Protein backbone atom coordinates (compact mmCIF):
# COMPACT_ATOMS: atom_id res chain seq x y z
CA UNK A 1 0.00 0.00 0.00
CA UNK A 2 1.47 3.36 -0.96
CA UNK A 3 1.18 6.59 0.99
CA UNK A 4 -1.74 7.96 -1.05
CA UNK A 5 -3.72 4.77 -0.50
CA UNK A 6 -2.91 4.88 3.23
CA UNK A 7 -4.18 8.46 3.49
CA UNK A 8 -7.38 7.69 1.63
CA UNK A 9 -8.19 4.92 4.13
CA UNK A 10 -8.49 7.38 7.04
CA UNK A 11 -11.99 8.84 7.29
CA UNK A 12 -14.43 9.81 10.02
CA UNK A 13 -15.98 6.33 9.74
CA UNK A 14 -12.59 4.58 9.57
CA UNK A 15 -10.17 6.84 11.45
CA UNK A 16 -6.50 6.35 12.18
CA UNK A 17 -6.33 5.32 15.83
CA UNK A 18 -3.51 6.75 17.95
CA UNK A 19 -3.00 5.18 21.36
CA UNK A 20 -1.61 7.08 24.30
CA UNK A 21 -1.41 7.09 28.05
CA UNK A 22 -4.31 8.95 29.64
CA UNK A 23 -2.14 11.41 31.61
CA UNK A 24 -2.55 15.12 30.77
CA UNK A 25 0.98 15.42 29.37
CA UNK A 26 0.67 12.27 27.25
CA UNK A 27 -2.62 13.56 25.84
CA UNK A 28 -1.07 16.92 24.95
CA UNK A 29 1.82 15.20 23.17
CA UNK A 30 -0.53 12.94 21.25
CA UNK A 31 -2.60 15.91 20.15
CA UNK A 32 0.64 17.42 18.82
CA UNK A 33 1.12 14.32 16.64
CA UNK A 34 -2.53 14.36 15.58
CA UNK A 35 -2.38 18.05 14.63
CA UNK A 36 0.81 17.68 12.61
CA UNK A 37 -0.56 14.73 10.62
CA UNK A 38 -3.84 16.52 9.94
CA UNK A 39 -2.04 19.69 8.85
CA UNK A 40 0.53 17.90 6.71
CA UNK A 41 -1.99 15.75 4.83
CA UNK A 42 -4.91 18.21 5.02
CA UNK A 43 -7.09 15.59 6.63
CA UNK A 44 -10.48 16.15 8.23
CA UNK A 45 -10.57 16.43 12.03
CA UNK A 46 -12.44 13.15 12.39
CA UNK A 47 -9.97 11.14 10.33
CA UNK A 48 -7.57 10.71 13.26
CA UNK A 49 -8.86 9.71 16.68
CA UNK A 50 -7.03 9.42 20.01
CA UNK A 51 -7.45 6.29 22.13
CA UNK A 52 -6.45 7.01 25.77
CA UNK A 53 -5.33 4.14 28.01
CA UNK A 54 -4.26 3.81 31.62
CA UNK A 55 -0.74 2.39 31.80
CA UNK A 56 0.44 0.18 34.67
CA UNK A 57 2.92 2.90 35.60
CA UNK A 58 0.02 5.30 36.16
CA UNK A 59 -1.82 2.83 38.38
CA UNK A 60 1.07 2.19 40.79
CA UNK A 61 2.36 5.47 42.21
CA UNK A 62 3.56 4.56 45.70
CA UNK A 63 6.88 2.97 44.68
CA UNK A 64 9.82 3.94 42.44
CA UNK A 65 9.41 2.82 38.83
CA UNK A 66 12.61 0.78 39.04
CA UNK A 67 11.10 -1.36 41.81
CA UNK A 68 7.91 -2.33 39.97
CA UNK A 69 8.93 -3.32 36.47
CA UNK A 70 10.76 -0.43 34.86
CA UNK A 71 9.92 1.48 31.71
CA UNK A 72 7.79 -1.32 30.25
CA UNK A 73 5.05 -0.17 32.64
CA UNK A 74 4.59 2.89 30.42
CA UNK A 75 4.50 1.05 27.09
CA UNK A 76 3.21 -2.52 27.43
CA UNK A 77 -0.52 -1.71 27.30
CA UNK A 78 -0.05 0.38 24.18
CA UNK A 79 2.08 -2.26 22.49
CA UNK A 80 -0.46 -4.94 23.33
CA UNK A 81 -3.11 -2.75 21.72
CA UNK A 82 -0.97 -2.49 18.57
CA UNK A 83 -0.71 -6.28 18.38
CA UNK A 84 -4.45 -6.72 18.98
CA UNK A 85 -5.27 -4.13 16.29
CA UNK A 86 -7.03 -1.84 18.76
CA UNK A 87 -4.81 1.06 17.68
CA UNK A 88 -2.67 1.82 14.62
CA UNK A 89 -0.02 4.02 16.24
CA UNK A 90 1.22 4.66 19.77
CA UNK A 91 2.77 7.90 21.02
CA UNK A 92 5.43 7.82 23.72
CA UNK A 93 7.79 10.11 25.56
CA UNK A 94 11.00 8.54 24.26
CA UNK A 95 12.53 8.79 27.72
CA UNK A 96 9.96 6.17 28.80
CA UNK A 97 10.74 3.65 26.04
CA UNK A 98 12.98 0.69 26.90
CA UNK A 99 16.30 0.52 25.07
CA UNK A 100 16.03 -3.21 24.37
CA UNK A 101 12.75 -3.88 22.63
CA UNK A 102 10.96 -6.51 20.60
CA UNK A 103 11.65 -6.50 16.85
CA UNK A 104 7.87 -6.59 16.42
CA UNK A 105 7.72 -2.82 16.98
CA UNK A 106 9.27 0.18 15.29
CA UNK A 107 9.70 3.80 16.38
CA UNK A 108 8.73 5.11 12.97
CA UNK A 109 9.04 8.84 13.63
CA UNK A 110 9.94 11.49 16.20
CA UNK A 111 8.70 15.05 16.41
CA UNK A 112 11.28 17.84 16.66
CA UNK A 113 12.79 17.67 20.11
CA UNK A 114 11.69 20.06 22.86
CA UNK A 115 13.62 21.63 25.73
CA UNK A 116 15.99 19.11 27.33
CA UNK A 117 16.47 21.03 30.60
CA UNK A 118 15.47 20.04 34.12
CA UNK A 119 13.82 22.60 36.40
CA UNK A 120 13.77 22.93 40.15
CA UNK A 121 10.43 23.82 41.72
CA UNK A 122 10.32 25.20 45.26
CA UNK A 123 13.67 27.00 45.29
CA UNK A 124 15.54 29.46 43.08
CA UNK A 125 18.46 27.04 42.67
CA UNK A 126 19.95 23.86 44.08
CA UNK A 127 22.55 25.95 45.90
CA UNK A 128 19.80 27.92 47.67
CA UNK A 129 18.06 24.88 49.11
CA UNK A 130 18.26 24.78 52.90
CA UNK A 131 20.59 22.31 54.62
CA UNK A 132 19.16 18.78 54.46
CA UNK A 133 16.25 19.91 52.32
CA UNK A 134 13.86 17.15 51.24
CA UNK A 135 13.76 16.87 47.46
CA UNK A 136 11.16 14.71 45.72
CA UNK A 137 12.51 12.71 42.81
CA UNK A 138 12.16 9.10 41.68
CA UNK A 139 14.88 9.43 39.04
CA UNK A 140 18.19 7.74 39.95
CA UNK A 141 19.93 10.13 37.53
CA UNK A 142 18.49 13.26 39.12
CA UNK A 143 19.15 11.94 42.61
CA UNK A 144 22.79 11.15 41.83
CA UNK A 145 23.34 14.51 40.14
CA UNK A 146 21.73 16.36 43.04
CA UNK A 147 23.79 14.53 45.65
CA UNK A 148 26.97 15.13 43.65
CA UNK A 149 26.28 18.87 44.02
CA UNK A 150 24.74 18.79 47.50
CA UNK A 151 25.52 15.61 49.50
CA UNK A 152 23.46 16.93 52.42
CA UNK A 153 20.17 16.82 50.51
CA UNK A 154 17.58 14.18 51.36
CA UNK A 155 16.14 12.68 48.18
CA UNK A 156 12.82 10.88 48.55
CA UNK A 157 10.63 9.12 46.03
CA UNK A 158 7.81 11.07 44.41
CA UNK A 159 5.48 9.61 41.77
CA UNK A 160 2.43 10.77 39.86
CA UNK A 161 1.74 13.27 37.11
CA UNK A 162 2.88 16.89 37.19
CA UNK A 163 -0.22 18.12 39.04
CA UNK A 164 0.14 15.40 41.68
CA UNK A 165 3.79 16.24 42.27
CA UNK A 166 3.09 19.96 42.52
CA UNK A 167 0.28 19.18 44.95
CA UNK A 168 2.64 17.22 47.20
CA UNK A 169 5.10 20.09 47.10
CA UNK A 170 2.39 22.61 48.00
CA UNK A 171 1.25 20.37 50.85
CA UNK A 172 4.73 20.58 52.38
CA UNK A 173 5.71 16.95 51.81
CA UNK A 174 8.88 18.17 50.10
CA UNK A 175 10.96 21.32 50.04
CA UNK A 176 11.52 21.05 46.29
CA UNK A 177 11.11 18.75 43.32
CA UNK A 178 12.62 18.43 39.86
CA UNK A 179 10.61 18.31 36.64
CA UNK A 180 11.42 18.31 32.94
CA UNK A 181 11.11 21.81 31.49
CA UNK A 182 9.52 20.45 28.31
CA UNK A 183 6.67 18.82 30.22
CA UNK A 184 5.85 22.04 32.03
CA UNK A 185 5.98 23.97 28.77
CA UNK A 186 3.66 21.54 26.98
CA UNK A 187 1.19 21.79 29.86
CA UNK A 188 1.16 25.57 29.67
CA UNK A 189 3.26 25.99 32.83
CA UNK A 190 6.51 27.05 31.21
CA UNK A 191 6.96 29.97 33.62
CA UNK A 192 7.07 27.65 36.63
CA UNK A 193 10.42 26.79 38.23
CA UNK A 194 14.03 27.61 37.44
CA UNK A 195 16.26 25.87 34.92
CA UNK A 196 19.12 23.92 36.50
CA UNK A 197 22.36 24.82 34.79
CA UNK A 198 24.97 22.20 33.95
CA UNK A 199 22.76 19.17 34.61
CA UNK A 200 22.99 16.69 31.76
CA UNK A 201 19.52 15.27 30.95
CA UNK A 202 18.27 11.75 30.67
CA UNK A 203 18.76 10.10 27.30
CA UNK A 204 15.85 10.97 24.96
CA UNK A 205 14.51 13.73 27.23
CA UNK A 206 12.18 16.07 25.36
CA UNK A 207 11.55 13.71 22.43
CA UNK A 208 8.16 12.34 21.33
CA UNK A 209 8.17 9.03 19.45
CA UNK A 210 5.54 7.49 17.19
CA UNK A 211 5.43 3.68 17.23
CA UNK A 212 3.79 1.13 14.97
CA UNK A 213 4.15 -2.54 14.17
CA UNK A 214 7.29 -3.14 12.12
CA UNK A 215 5.17 -5.00 9.55
CA UNK A 216 3.10 -1.87 8.84
CA UNK A 217 5.31 -0.30 6.18
CA UNK A 218 2.38 1.84 5.04
CA UNK A 219 2.10 3.50 8.46
CA UNK A 220 5.86 3.91 8.76
CA UNK A 221 5.88 5.78 5.46
CA UNK A 222 2.82 7.79 6.47
CA UNK A 223 4.27 9.15 9.74
CA UNK A 224 7.82 9.56 8.43
CA UNK A 225 6.76 12.78 6.70
CA UNK A 226 6.45 14.59 10.06
CA UNK A 227 9.60 13.05 11.56
CA UNK A 228 12.59 15.22 12.46
CA UNK A 229 15.76 13.56 11.17
CA UNK A 230 18.18 15.23 13.60
CA UNK A 231 16.02 14.25 16.57
CA UNK A 232 15.92 10.63 15.35
CA UNK A 233 19.69 10.50 14.91
CA UNK A 234 20.51 12.14 18.24
CA UNK A 235 17.97 10.23 20.33
CA UNK A 236 18.99 6.90 18.80
CA UNK A 237 22.62 7.69 19.62
CA UNK A 238 21.72 8.42 23.24
CA UNK A 239 19.74 5.19 23.38
CA UNK A 240 22.73 3.30 21.96
CA UNK A 241 24.86 4.78 24.75
CA UNK A 242 22.32 3.53 27.31
CA UNK A 243 22.16 0.11 25.72
CA UNK A 244 25.93 -0.25 25.77
CA UNK A 245 25.88 0.39 29.51
CA UNK A 246 22.92 -1.95 30.05
CA UNK A 247 21.14 1.13 31.36
CA UNK A 248 17.75 0.68 33.01
CA UNK A 249 15.56 2.49 35.53
CA UNK A 250 18.10 1.81 38.29
CA UNK A 251 21.01 3.35 36.38
CA UNK A 252 22.20 6.92 37.03
CA UNK A 253 23.07 7.71 33.40
CA UNK A 254 22.82 11.00 31.54
CA UNK A 255 23.34 11.61 27.83
CA UNK A 256 22.76 14.31 25.26
CA UNK A 257 23.55 14.26 21.55
CA UNK A 258 23.28 17.40 19.41
CA UNK A 259 24.19 18.30 15.87
CA UNK A 260 27.38 20.34 15.74
CA UNK A 261 28.03 21.52 12.21
CA UNK A 262 27.94 18.46 10.00
CA UNK A 263 28.58 16.02 12.87
CA UNK A 264 26.90 14.70 16.01
CA UNK A 265 28.34 15.60 19.42
CA UNK A 266 27.49 13.23 22.30
CA UNK A 267 28.08 13.98 25.97
CA UNK A 268 27.65 11.19 28.50
CA UNK A 269 27.81 10.77 32.26
CA UNK A 270 27.67 7.81 34.62
CA UNK A 271 27.31 8.19 38.38
CA UNK A 272 27.09 6.14 41.54
CA UNK A 273 23.61 6.32 43.13
CA UNK A 274 24.83 8.62 45.90
CA UNK A 275 26.63 10.92 43.45
CA UNK A 276 29.98 10.48 45.17
CA UNK A 277 31.65 8.92 42.12
CA UNK A 278 31.18 9.82 38.47
CA UNK A 279 32.78 9.89 35.06
CA UNK A 280 31.82 12.03 32.07
CA UNK A 281 33.10 12.54 28.56
CA UNK A 282 32.18 13.38 24.99
CA UNK A 283 32.70 12.23 21.43
CA UNK A 284 32.17 13.69 17.95
CA UNK A 285 31.18 11.56 14.98
CA UNK A 286 29.54 11.47 11.56
CA UNK A 287 25.88 10.48 11.25
CA UNK A 288 26.62 6.96 10.02
CA UNK A 289 29.01 6.26 12.91
CA UNK A 290 26.70 7.20 15.79
CA UNK A 291 26.08 3.72 17.22
CA UNK A 292 29.77 2.81 17.18
CA UNK A 293 30.72 6.17 18.69
CA UNK A 294 28.16 5.73 21.49
CA UNK A 295 29.71 2.34 22.27
CA UNK A 296 33.20 3.87 22.26
CA UNK A 297 32.20 6.62 24.71
CA UNK A 298 30.48 4.13 27.02
CA UNK A 299 33.59 1.93 27.06
CA UNK A 300 35.86 4.94 27.61
CA UNK A 301 33.88 6.04 30.67
CA UNK A 302 33.90 2.52 32.11
CA UNK A 303 37.64 2.14 31.48
CA UNK A 304 38.23 5.34 33.44
CA UNK A 305 35.76 4.50 36.19
CA UNK A 306 36.70 3.16 39.58
CA UNK A 307 35.82 -0.43 40.40
CA UNK A 308 33.15 0.87 42.78
CA UNK A 309 31.48 2.89 40.01
CA UNK A 310 31.88 0.24 37.34
CA UNK A 311 29.82 -2.28 39.31
CA UNK A 312 26.63 -0.35 38.54
CA UNK A 313 27.06 -0.79 34.78
CA UNK A 314 27.89 -3.46 32.20
CA UNK A 315 29.21 -3.42 28.66
Question: What CATH number is associated with residue 91?
Answer: 3.40.190.10
69-83, 141-155, 162-176: which has the minimum mean pLDDT? 69-83
- Do 134 and 84 lie in one domain? The reply is no
**Gap between the Cα atoms of 29 and 52, Å rounded:** 12
- Do 61 and 122 lie in one domain? The reply is no
- Do 86 and 16 lie in one domain? The reply is yes
**Gap between the Cα atoms of 152 and 62, Å rounded:** 24
**Gap between the Cα atoms of 121 and 2, Å rounded:** 48
- Residue 103 has a pLDDT of 93
Confidence of residue 246 (pLDDT cuts 50, 70, 90): confident
Q: Is 96 a catalytic residue?
A: yes
Kindly state whether residue 232 falls inside one of the protein's structural domains. Answer: no
- Do 59 and 175 lie in one domain? The reply is no
Each residue's pLDDT tens digit, 97-113: 988 888 999 999 999 99
Kindly state whether residue 313 falls inside one of the protein's structural domains. Answer: no
**282-305 mean pLDDT:** 97
pTM value is 0.91
Kindly state whether residue 287 falls inside one of the protein's structural domains. Answer: yes
- Residue 76 has a pLDDT of 86
- Do 105 and 213 lie in one domain? The reply is yes
Kindly state whether residue 103 falls inside one of the protein's structural domains. Answer: yes
- Do 147 and 182 lie in one domain? The reply is yes
Instruction: Give residue 244's Cα distance to chain centre.
Output: 18
Kindly state whether residue 92 falls inside one of the protein's structural domains. Answer: yes
- Do 58 and 163 lie in one domain? The reply is no
Q: Which positions ≥6 away from 255 have C-beta within 8 Å?
A: 200, 201, 202, 203, 238, 241, 242, 266, 267, 268, 269
**Gap between the Cα atoms of 11 and 48, Å rounded:** 8
Kindly state whether residue 9 falls inside one of the protein's structural domains. Answer: yes
- Do 168 and 79 lie in one domain? The reply is no
- Do 86 and 11 lie in one domain? The reply is yes
- Do 212 and 79 lie in one domain? The reply is yes
Domain with 9, as residue range(s), is 3-111+207-227
Q: How many domains does the chain have?
A: 3
Kindly state whether residue 314 falls inside one of the protein's structural domains. Answer: no
Kindly state whether residue 77 falls inside one of the protein's structural domains. Answer: yes
Q: Of the residues 88, 96, 115, 118, which is catalytic? A: 96
- Do 106 and 219 lie in one domain? The reply is yes
CATH number of the domain residue 293 falls in: 3.30.160.40
- Do 163 and 37 lie in one domain? The reply is no
- Residue 54 has a pLDDT of 82
Give the closest residue to 142 by CA, choosing from 190, 191, 180, 96.
180
Amino acid sequence: MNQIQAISNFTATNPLRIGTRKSPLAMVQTRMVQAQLIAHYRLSEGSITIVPMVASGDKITDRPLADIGGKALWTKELERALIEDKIDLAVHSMKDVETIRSDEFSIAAMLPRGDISDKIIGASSIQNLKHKARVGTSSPRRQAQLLAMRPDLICESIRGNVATRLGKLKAGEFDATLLAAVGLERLGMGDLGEVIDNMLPAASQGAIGIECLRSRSDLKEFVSTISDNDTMICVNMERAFLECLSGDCHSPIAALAVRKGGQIYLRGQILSPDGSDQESGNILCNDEDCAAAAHTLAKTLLDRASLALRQYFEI
